[in-house]
Amino acid sequence: MPRVEVPGFVGGIGRLRGRQIGVEDGWNYIVFRTAPTHGKTADYLQKIPGVTPFLSVPGATSVRGLFSENGRAFVGAGGIFTEFFSDGTLRTPFVPIVEDANPVTISSGGANITDPGLLVVSGGTGIVWDLVTNTQIPISAPGLELPYSMGTVIDLYGIVVKTDSIQFNFSNLNNFSVFDAADFAARSEASDNISAIVRNHRELWVLGQLTTEVWQDTGDVDTPFAPIPGVFLEQGCIAPYSALSVDNTVFWLGRNIQGGGIVYRANGYTPERVSHDAIELALSLSSDLTRTIAWSMQMDGQTFYGLYVPDLPEQLVFNIATASWTRWARWDPQACVWFPWFARCHCDAFGKHLVGDWSTGTIYEVSPTFYGNTVIA
């Protein structure tokens, strides 16, 4: 029997303001695509993965960051930072970090750094975690103004973004526990403040609130970073923590002088719209898109870019493989309301997909083989 195609029958979110035009919606499923000539249909639907608790961080009301590398995994939750292990236990004593509503950024310097560690930025300040001694190294930064909003590491330099400014500071080479106030770079091609920085392909994407520049390592010891000549994007980032390196490029929730609320991916150095009318309608229902937090995960050959918007009842999740959006949520059967799905951060550790809960200190294991825990008990 030949394959039967029904256009528009299997898809993602399509609900529009005009219900006579588009009413299709998708809650708690994923649009998958079969290989050509394989299967009875080109696209099919599969439920979102289930979750099961992996560990809980005592006293934390939210898991704000996860990171894994070389068989080790780390968590920033509430006001603490620590390592966690494959058996679900935590290293003690915990390291205190400054808590706020924003994510914790955790970045690795790589195995060759002189002072091996992780650059951890939280609540406007930061620490370095020494991977050899398993202790905290205070950041020595005489004259470096606080607060800074996020951090990353590129070519063995630690990078931190000064909050509400056009400036980012870089550490000493091979030692990002030492910053000098004079070692900074400032946007020169536009005056809008830096919203986010993302490392991608050894380039530093400097996303402003309205425009974006891409910087590179010049190799100069005194001035190690400079904008790539001729690269300037007339599209900035409305939500600092929506910007992620995913699928070999950069995704973010955009804004420019005309307005904001469109999701972009970089096609080379050109912003390419990946959201559509229905997604932008859903995003417009938020009272504050600046608080949007993105996470990403690759599972079953599909790569997902998810948006947790605190005042929406669901997460908007983009399946890059099928270019489809669906809503991921959990249902409260007592209050009869939807809540956003669990994740606000993700890491792949110990052969498991782990996500940090936005509403508790729980880290969940995620798997398509789990069939429970998708609702609030």
The helix or strand, by DSSP H or E, that contains position 281, with its residue range, turns out to be: helix 277-284
Highest mean pLDDT among 103-107, 115-119, 185-189, 218-222: 103-107
Q: Is residue 5 part of a domain?
A: no
Q: What is the CATH number of the domain that holds 296?
A: 2.130.10.10
Q: Is residue 105 part of a domain?
A: yes
Tokens of 333: 């059967």
Q: Nearest Cα to 295, choosing from 279, 285, 309?
A: 309
Given a cut of 70, whether residue 9 has pLDDT beyond it is: no
Q: Is residue 374 part of a domain?
A: no
Q: Is residue 256 part of a domain?
A: yes
Over the range 307-327, which residues count as b (16 or more CB within 10 Å of their CB) and which as e?
bbbeebebbbbbbbbbebbbb
Given a cut of 50, whether residue 374 has pLDDT beyond it is: no
Q: How many domains would you assign to the chain?
A: 1
What is the reported pLDDT for 259?
95
Q: What is the dihedral of CA 162, 163, 165, 167, to 10 degrees?
A: 20
Burial (CB count within 10 angstroms: exposed 0-12, middle 13-18, buried 19+), residue 300: exposed
CA distance 131 to 111: 10
Tokens of 101: 């509503």
Tokens of 28: 């708690």
Residue 351: strand pairing partners? none
What are the Cα distances from residue 218, in Å, to 117, 201, 228, 261?
24, 15, 10, 34
Q: Is residue 126 part of a domain?
A: yes
Q: Nearest Cα to 113, choosing from 160, 153, 161?
A: 153
CA distance 293 to 291: 6
Handedness of CA 48, 50, 54, 55 (dihedral sign): positive
Contact 279, 302 (CB under 8 A): no
- Collapsing DSSP to helix, strand or coil, 17 comes out as coil
Q: Is residue 15 part of a domain?
A: no
Determine the residue type at 65.
Answer: G
Please give the distance of CA 327 from its chain centroid, rounded to a whole number: 17
pTM score: 0.92
> The domain containing residue 148 runs over which residues?
29-367
Q: Is residue 83 part of a domain?
A: yes
End-to-end CA distance of the chain: 45
In the chain, % of residues over pLDDT 90: 73
What is the reported pLDDT for 24?
73
Q: Mean pLDDT score of the chain, rounded to an integer?
A: 90
Tokens of 118: 């992780």
Q: Which residue has the higher pLDDT, 102 or 175?
A: 102
pLDDT classification of 377: cutoffs 50, 70, 90 = very low
Q: Is residue 336 part of a domain?
A: yes
For residue 349, the number of C-alpha atoms closer than 13 Å in the C-beta half-sphere is 26
